[in-house]
Chains A and B, each alone.
Chain A
Amino acid sequence: MLANHLEGNIRFLPSVDSWEKGIEEAAAPLLENGSIKPKYIEDMIQNVHTNGPYIVIVPGIAMPHAKNEDNSVVQTGVSYLKLEEPVEFPKNKEVSTFFVLAAEDSTGHLDLISDLSTILIEDEIKDKLEASKSEEEVLEVLNSVE
């Protein structure tokens, strides 16, 4: 499930200047394929400004997301960005892996979340994921758990 949604939405970059830029880059594939509108990216960044970096769900991994307001999410989707150099979020939280979550409503994406949880809960799989260097490798790791 997660793998299907991520296909074509996976990017690798050496580094980004700021965490805001990181969210923007990570969400770029969703913007490109029309799943989200630019406002959703602003909302995700604003969410961290307002509520703090709680989207850093485990050390090193962020799951940027926001409420779907004014239909800024057209279609449920996820995208993935891996940085070689971690970028710093507020409160000195370093992040090198982004899972952008764009959910059309509060229920339709729960199976994606469930898959994500399965991956992150197992240290071994998580490590493998963080070591992946190409889209194929990432998808392979994801497929291995489904």
Chain B
Amino acid sequence: MANSAPVQDHVAGSNSPSTRARVQAFGGFLTNMVLPNIGAFIAWGLLTALFIPTGWIPNEELAQIVDPAIVYLLPLLLAITGGRMVGGQRGAVMGAIGAIGLIVGSDIPMFLGAMVIGPLGGLVIKKFDKMIENRIPAGFEMIINNFSLGILGFGLMILSFFFIGPTIESANNFVTASIEALVATGMLPLLSLINEPAKVLFLNNVIDQGIYYPLGMQAAAEAGKSIYFTVASNPGPGLGLLLAFTFFGKKVARRTAPGAIVIHFFGGIHELYFPYVLMKPLTIIGMIAGGASGIAVFSLFDAGLVAGPSPGSIFAYLGLTPKGSFIGIIAGVLVAAAVTFLITAVILKFDKSSDDEELEASVEKSKSMKQAGKAVAQPALKPSAKKEAIDKISFACDAGAGSSALGATTFRKKLQKNDIEGIEVKHYRIEDVPKDSDLMVVHEDLQERARRAHPNMEIIAISNYLNDPALEDLLEQLKK
């Protein structure tokens, strides 16, 4: 696990690996696996929204790309990224080999499976390489490397092929049985408990076309409309989720979410929001709550659609709404969006202050405490110093990875040593420094660029990332 394992190993090796820190490390891992591939999701979403038979400009020829892209391209990309994160380039190859077994062995897009098999493949090859390290006779490296990957990959491919079919089948059976049981109770909002996770796992067609649409058609034949068409196709929760990412997400997720909204809400391609749920799995709570509220509102207004909306865009919804149901349908979509938005916002907000940075900080904290032999409880007893003016300091450099990280880490340690709490010190690429930073610390050589990027921010220029007089002054100022 070339880039995240050192952190995890470290946590495990230090005195108290908090479960929370581990969960966060895992969340960061998922995010890193999904985020680099969002562009491919968007490309696929645009293609689908435009060219499928029910799309904006149907085009039979171009629509041929839709299926292979979602079945092969996207899961393979996830598996490759996941494999690479664990086992470098060899891990990436291994992840892809494993994923193709899953893909061919199942008949739904294997996203979650790819996110498991990718890193697993990386792990297998990494462990193997470690095992034979230094045991390869000189001159045989190339042949051993290639054949080891080939043979292990061959095994993984077959294993995943045979494993996946039965797994999917039992998942399908489980989902179908659960939904039927819930429908029988009449508690329709509860359906979201199954719907939302199942959708993200790409069982949406199974549940919509296999269960809800037949139920809906029966009801519509009698009443002219049915609520079953809406229970899993409501675009509201996805809208709420993506809006929450737009306002409270981080970096790439935040910037791509608005585009995803267009494709999801107006284009009706729900798959666009799936990666966002996959990278922050907790947000499924928001999706379930939003979905359930939507269904509750639909039933309250006795609203329904005349047919199954496909794709589930807001336009398809309005087009299929019978007279008299408009208020109920619109209200259901909006309420669902609002509920999901609020809950997701809280989840992301909470997450924001506690990502890798805090993980790192907590590792460091436990470490420095160990060194200083301090009691863990001690900092809590100190009244936190008052510093109304400054509570967010951003160190910046060219890449946001090297010297700024060193500067930020060192400054955090100094704050700790002086029992100064409540100041967030993080490191960024100059252009990525958040606008709400109280001040930015940057090397004097990079000062001009920093000023261009952030004309209104207070900037401290230093020539030494560790012991600059300007930083000593700042520390003195913060002590007061």
Where the two chains meet, the residues of A that have a C-beta atom closer than 8 Å to any C-beta of B are 1, 47, 50-55, 57-59, 63, 65-68, 71, 74-76, 101, 103-114, 116-118, 120-121
Q: Given A51-B446, A67-B399, A116-B406, 20 other A-B contacts at CB below 8 A?
A: A51-B449, A54-B443, A54-B446, A55-B403, A57-B464, A58-B465, A59-B464, A63-B403, A76-B2, A76-B3, A103-B402, A109-B3, A109-B405, A111-B7, A111-B10, A114-B363, A117-B406, A117-B409, A120-B466, A121-B414
Contact A109 B401 (CB under 8 A): yes
Chain A residues lying within 8 Å of B364, measured Cβ to Cβ, are: 114
If A103-B402, A109-B6 touch, whether A51 touches B356 (CB-CB below 8 Å) is no
Chain A residues lying within 8 Å of B397, measured Cβ to Cβ, are: 54
If A76-B6, A113-B406 touch, whether A106 touches B399 (CB-CB below 8 Å) is yes
Chain A residues lying within 8 Å of B10, measured Cβ to Cβ, are: 1, 111
Chain B residues lying within 8 Å of A54, measured Cβ to Cβ, are: 397-398, 403, 443-446
A54–B445 Cα gap in the complex (Å)?
A: 6
1/0 per position for B52-69, CB-CB distance to A under 8 A? 000000000000000000
A118–B414 Cα gap in the complex (Å)?
A: 10
Instruction: Kindly report which residue of chain A lies nearest to residue B364, judged by CB atoms.
Output: A114
Which 5 A-B pairs have CB atoms at the shortest separation, nearest pair first? Answer: A108-B3, A52-B445, A54-B443, A65-B402, A67-B399
Determine if B4 is an interface residue (Cβ-Cβ < 8 Å): yes
Determine if B32 is an interface residue (Cβ-Cβ < 8 Å): yes
Chain A CB within 10 Å, residue with most, of B367, B400, B449: B367
Q: Give the interface SS of chain A, mostly helix, strand, loop or mixed.
A: loop
If A51-B445, A57-B465 touch, whether A107 touches B402 (CB-CB below 8 Å) is no
Q: How large is the interface on B (under 10, 10 to 19, 20 to 34, 35 or more residues)?
A: 35 or more
Determine if B121 is an interface residue (Cβ-Cβ < 8 Å): no
Nearest-CB distance from B253 to chain A (Å)?
15
A–B complex contacts, Cβ < 8 Å, 28 sampled:
A1-B6, A51-B449, A54-B397, A54-B398, A54-B444, A54-B446, A55-B403, A57-B465, A57-B466, A65-B401, A67-B398, A76-B3, A76-B6, A105-B32, A106-B400, A106-B401, A107-B7, A107-B28, A109-B3, A109-B6, A109-B401, A109-B405, A110-B7, A111-B7, A111-B10, A111-B363, A117-B466, A121-B466
Nearest-CB distance from A107 to chain B (Å)?
5
Contact A58 B464 (CB under 8 A): yes
Chain B residues lying within 8 Å of A65, measured Cβ to Cβ, are: 399, 401-403
A54–B414 Cα gap in the complex (Å)?
A: 21
Nearest-CB distance from A105 to chain B (Å)?
5
Q: How many A-B residue pairs have CB under 8 A?
A: 116
Instruction: Kindly report which residue of chain B lies nearest to residue A61, judged by CB atoms.
Output: B466
Q: Give the interface SS of chain B, mostly helix, strand, loop or mixed.
A: helix
Where the two chains meet, the residues of B that have a C-beta atom closer than 8 Å to any C-beta of A are 2-4, 6-7, 10, 28, 32, 88-89, 356, 360, 363-364, 367, 397-403, 405-406, 409-410, 413-414, 429, 443-446, 449, 464-467
A74–B398 Cα gap in the complex (Å)?
A: 20
A105–B28 Cα gap in the complex (Å)?
A: 12
Chain A residues lying within 8 Å of B363, measured Cβ to Cβ, are: 111, 114
Contact A120 B360 (CB under 8 A): no
Chain B residues lying within 8 Å of A103, measured Cβ to Cβ, are: 401-402
Contact B2 A104 (CB under 8 A): yes
If A1-B6, A74-B89, A112-B6 touch, whether A101 touches B409 (CB-CB below 8 Å) is no
If A57-B403, A57-B466 touch, whether A114 touches B6 (CB-CB below 8 Å) is no
A74–B414 Cα gap in the complex (Å)?
A: 33
A59–B468 Cα gap in the complex (Å)?
A: 11
Chain A residues lying within 8 Å of B6, measured Cβ to Cβ, are: 1, 76, 108-109, 111-112
Chain A residues lying within 8 Å of B356, measured Cβ to Cβ, are: 107, 110
A66–B6 Cα gap in the complex (Å)?
A: 20
Instruction: Kindly report which residue of chain B lies nearest to residue A4, judged by CB atoms.
Output: B6
A105–B353 Cα gap in the complex (Å)?
A: 20
A57–B401 Cα gap in the complex (Å)?
A: 14
Contact B405 A110 (CB under 8 A): yes
A118–B406 Cα gap in the complex (Å)?
A: 10
